[in-house]
């Protein structure tokens, strides 16, 4: 009977992120889209999802609104999240008009999530068509995605800096020993940049432009190897109201991100303080592992290394580490006991 069920069921792994949603099916990344939905205000119908909706973000007229359904790593708009998951599952082309396979889903959740928030994720997945829903904590998924054997009796420290949350966890024996989840991450870096441009350059920019600045000239410290070239930024002059262009460099951006990065450093030190001594010895030998889009910020690994006096390794393709780990967990559903139902 189980074999028959497997024939008509599809397993998908979802990394439901504040900034991006990645779906893995049959060991392949089939969807990698921004977590954003565009909705027609009059009919409440979804017009676009993902990249198409992102292109509309900040450029809509009064009949269209763009929504980012996830805030700080959890679902903020239940209906929009459900629609987004549904539309993204449709992109995979499962089954046909006459036959809809049953879907088994593994979804990532932040480690600091509450029971109510967990329920919202499960309900959204079920309404989007999932028959079985399993959940995995993000740091655990990131560790698996990096190729760490999480079931060994050895301590590993994982830092996953995403769009909405920074997850810091010490993992051993297939479980999270201590963790610290703070709601300071990529989105906060963006708002720091928006605020800085307004205060320092008297220019108003949108969220998408702030994201571009972060990618092009973002840095965690002013002294970095291979500094990026200065970046021209267009926005609206606050004094005259006329569009204008200013140039920014990585030193300015490093300065404006300093406060948020200091809070992440503080959380890392807190997590290290809570770590049992035997595991602390393992972490000293191995160092700290970093994943998530935030770990791509220039010089961040070096800065954390200077602060903690430990080695810091950024995994390859950090943006997809959590999704990769979720995909591996999906294949080992019966083996991994830490998956929640």
Task: Write the pLDDT tens digit of every residue in 240-292.
Answer: 999 999 999 999 999 999 999 999 999 999 999 999 999 999 999 999 999 99
Token pair in block for residue 86? 């549904």
* CATH architecture designation of domain 186-256: Alpha-Beta Complex (3.90)
Query: Under a CB-based contact definition with an 8 Å cutoff, are residues 235 and 197 in contact?
Result: yes
What crossing angle do the helices spanning 250-274 and 300-308 adopt, rounded to 10°?
A: 40
Average pLDDT over every residue of 217-222: 95
Task: Tell me what pLDDT residue 2 has.
Answer: 47
**In the CATH hierarchy, which fold is given to the domain comprising 2-141+322-331?**
Nucleotidyltransferase; domain 5 (3.30.420)
Alpha helices in 240-276 (DSSP H): 250-274
Query: Under a CB-based contact definition with an 8 Å cutoff, are residues 77 and 69 in contact?
Result: yes
Q: Strand 231-237 relative to strand 102-109: parallel, antiparallel, unpaired?
A: unpaired
Compute the chain's Rg from CA coordinates: 21
Write out the CATH class of domain 154-184+260-315: alpha beta
Count the Cβ atoms, other than its own, within 10 Å of residue 259: 11
What is the Cα–Cα distance from 39 to 17, expressed in whole angstroms? 20
pLDDT digits (tens, 9 = 90+) for 21-73: 999 988 899 999 999 999 999 898 999 999 999 999 988 899 999 999 999 88
Cα–Cα distances in Å, from 56 out to 65, 150, 211, 253, 293?
9, 41, 15, 26, 22
Share of the chain above pLDDT 90, in %: 72
Q: Strand 243-248 relative to strand 166-172: parallel, antiparallel, unpaired?
A: unpaired
Q: Please tell me if the domain spanning 2-141+322-331 has the same topology as the one spanning 154-184+260-315.
A: yes
Could you state, in order of their start, the residue ranges of all structural domains in the chain?
2-141+322-331, 154-184+260-315, 186-256
How many helices (H) does the chain have, and how many strands (E)? 11, 18
Report the mean per-residue pLDDT for the chain: 91
């Amino acid at each position: 009977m189980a074999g028959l069920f497997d024939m008509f069921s599809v397993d998908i792994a979802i990394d439901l992120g504040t900034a991006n949603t990645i779906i893995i099916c049959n060991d392949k990344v089939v969807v990698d889209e921004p977590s954003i939905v565009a909705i027609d205000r009059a009919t409440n119908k979804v017009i676009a999802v993902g990249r198409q909706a992102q292109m509309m973000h900040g450029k809509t007229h009064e009949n269209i609104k763009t929504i980012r359904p996830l805030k700080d790593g959890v679902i903020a708009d239940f209906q929009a999240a459900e629609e987004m998951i549904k539309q993204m599952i449709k992109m995979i082309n499962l089954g046909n008009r006459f036959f809809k396979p049953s879907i088994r889903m593994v979804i990532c959740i932040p480690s600091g999530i509450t029971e109510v928030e967990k329920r919202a994720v499960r309900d959204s997945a079920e309404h989007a068509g999932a028959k079985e829903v399993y959940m995995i904590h993000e740091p655990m998924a990131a560790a698996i995605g990096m190729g760490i054997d999480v079931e060994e009796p050895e301590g590993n420290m994982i830092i996953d800096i995403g769009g909405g949350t920074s997850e810091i966890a010490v993992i051993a024996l297939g479980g999270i020993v201590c963790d610290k989840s703070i709601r300071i991450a990529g989105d906060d870096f963006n708002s720091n940049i928006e605020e800085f441009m307004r205060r320092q350059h008297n220019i108003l920019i949108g969220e998408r432009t702030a994201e571009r600045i972060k990618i092009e000239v973002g840095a965690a410290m002013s002294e970095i190897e291979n500094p990026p070239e200065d970046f021209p930024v267009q926005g609206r002059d606050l004094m005259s109201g006329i569009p204008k262009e200013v140039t920014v460099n990585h030193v300015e951006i490093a300065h404006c991100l300093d406060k948020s990065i200091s809070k992440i450093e503080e959380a890392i030190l807190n997590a290290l303080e809570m770590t049992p001594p035997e595991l602390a010895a393992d972490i000293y030998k191995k160092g700290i592992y970093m994943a998530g889009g935030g770990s791509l910020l220039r010089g961040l690994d070096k800065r954390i290394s200077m602060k903690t006096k430990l080695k810091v390794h950024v995994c390859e393709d950090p943006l997809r580490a959590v999704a990769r780990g979720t995909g591996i967990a999906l294949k080992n559903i019966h083996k991994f006991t830490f998956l929640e139902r």
